[in-house]
């Protein structure tokens, strides 16, 4: 996997214009989508969800048009849309937080920072989309919230998306997984779907600039959870994702 040495000058051309247009496009359309979601709050949840998913698709399209960021997906055959599942994915940028909602067709609830729901309009809209919002500084409370809401949403047929590294990593890096998603899998009996990607190469964490290229997303085989310990489930997911990242 190609990694960029942060100690030497980045040889990639700086796409200031495209990145600026993407920035403007994301925040202007997020405001419009947020207003639409808030206006449809009294309607069935699926209406709001589909608006949010369409917006995620729009962001991916703008990334391609303005910055040349494309993506390829491998392993869609591993998805069983008739079975509620828990997605464990590595976390390199903001890209995957949007892309997985669009790429994975089952309706999802995502684990995220509670502070994201405090932003005017789009944060308020996010709070209507069944997020599992936690305060990471309060680990026990965060785990309790994940387990309570996660099991509730899984029973409703929603998939639960968790980034077990807890924070964005640099491209090619995999941090130790927290066990929350695996504990949810153990207690609910729902299977785990591991997902690996290299978004950080083209949509770097905390970076205004985006770079042209093709993000590769790899969806792994189902990891069964029934009758298994959370530590074993977590180890299987972490091992598969680390290996997949090395192969991307």
Tell me: pLDDT of 10 over 80: no
Which domain does 236 fall in, by range? 16-247
- Note the pLDDT of residue 183: 98
- Dig out the tokens for 225 from the structure: 């959870």
Q: Is residue 2 part of a domain?
A: no
What average pLDDT does the structure give for the chain? 93
Tell me which of 81 and 7 has the higher pLDDT. Answer: 81
pTM for this entry: 0.91
Q: Is residue 3 part of a domain?
A: no
Return the percentage of the chain with pLDDT > 90, whole number: 86
pLDDT band at 1 (very low <50, low <70, confident <90, very high): very low
Residue 94, domain CATH: 3.40.1130.10
- Note the pLDDT of residue 5: 42
Tell me: pLDDT of 193 over 70: yes
Q: What is the 3-state secondary structure (H, E, C) of 12-57?
A: CCCCHHHHHHHHHHHHHHHHHHHHHHHHCCCCCHHHHHHHHHHHHH
Tell me what the mean pLDDT of segment 206-232 comes to.
96
Q: Is 133 helix (H, G, I), strand (E, B) or coil?
A: strand
Q: Is residue 5 part of a domain?
A: no
Tell me which residue of 186, 131, 140, 199 sits closest to 160, measured CA to CA. Answer: 131
Q: Which of 34-43, 56-65, 117-126, 161-170 has the lowest mean pLDDT?
A: 161-170
Contacts of the segment 108-112: beta carbons below 8 A, 24+ positions apart: 108/158, 108/159, 108/160, 108/161, 109/149, 109/150, 109/153, 109/158, 109/159, 109/160, 109/161, 110/160, 110/161, 110/162, 111/146, 111/150, 111/160, 111/161, 111/162, 111/163, 111/180, 111/181
Q: Is residue 64 part of a domain?
A: yes
Summarize pLDDT for 107-139 with one digit per residue, the tens. 999 999 999 999 999 999 999 999 999 998 899
- Burial environment of residue 140 by CB neighbours within 10 A (0 to 12, 13 to 18, 19 or more): exposed
Q: Is residue 102 part of a domain?
A: yes
Task: Please count the structural domains in the chain.
Answer: 1
pLDDT band at 8 (very low <50, low <70, confident <90, very high): low
Q: Is residue 177 part of a domain?
A: yes
In angstroms, the CA 238 to CA 165 distance is 10
Q: Is residue 52 part of a domain?
A: yes
- Dig out the tokens for 136 from the structure: 């990471």
Report DSSP state, residue 217: E
Tell me what the mean pLDDT of segment 72-93 comes to.
93
Return the percentage of the chain with pLDDT > 70, whole number: 96
Q: Is residue 1 part of a domain?
A: no
- Dig out the tokens for 32 from the structure: 């419009």
């Amino acid at each position: 996997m190609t990694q960029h040495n942060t100690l030497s000058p980045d040889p990639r051309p700086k796409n200031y214009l495209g990145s600026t247009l993407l920035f403007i496009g994301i925040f202007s359309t997020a405001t419009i989508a947020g207003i639409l979601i808030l206006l449809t709050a009294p309607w069935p949840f699926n209406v709001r969800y589909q608006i949010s998913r369409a917006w995620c698709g729009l962001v991916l399209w703008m990334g391609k048009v303005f910055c040349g960021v494309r993506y390829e997906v491998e392993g869609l055959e591993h998805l069983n849309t008739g079975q509620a599942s828990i997605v464990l994915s590595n976390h390199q940028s903001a890209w995957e937080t949007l892309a997985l909602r669009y790429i994975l067709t089952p309706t999802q609830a995502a684990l995220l920072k509670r502070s994201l729901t405090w932003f005017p309009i789009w944060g308020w809209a996010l709070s209507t989309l069944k997020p599992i919002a936690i305060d990471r500084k309060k680990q026990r409370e965060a785990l309790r919230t994940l387990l309570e809401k996660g099991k509730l949403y899984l029973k409703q047929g929603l998939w639960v998306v968790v980034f077990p590294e807890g924070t964005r990593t640099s491209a090619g890096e995999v941090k130790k997984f927290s066990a929350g998603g695996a504990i949810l899998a153990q207690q609910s009996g729902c299977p785990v779907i591991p997902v690996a990607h290299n978004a950080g190469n083209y949509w770097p964490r905390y970076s205004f600039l985006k770079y042209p290229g093709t993000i590769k997303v790899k969806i792994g085989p189902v990891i069964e959870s029934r009758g298994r310990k959370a530590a074993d489930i977590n180890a299987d997911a972490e091992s598969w994702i680390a290996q997949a990242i090395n192969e991307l």
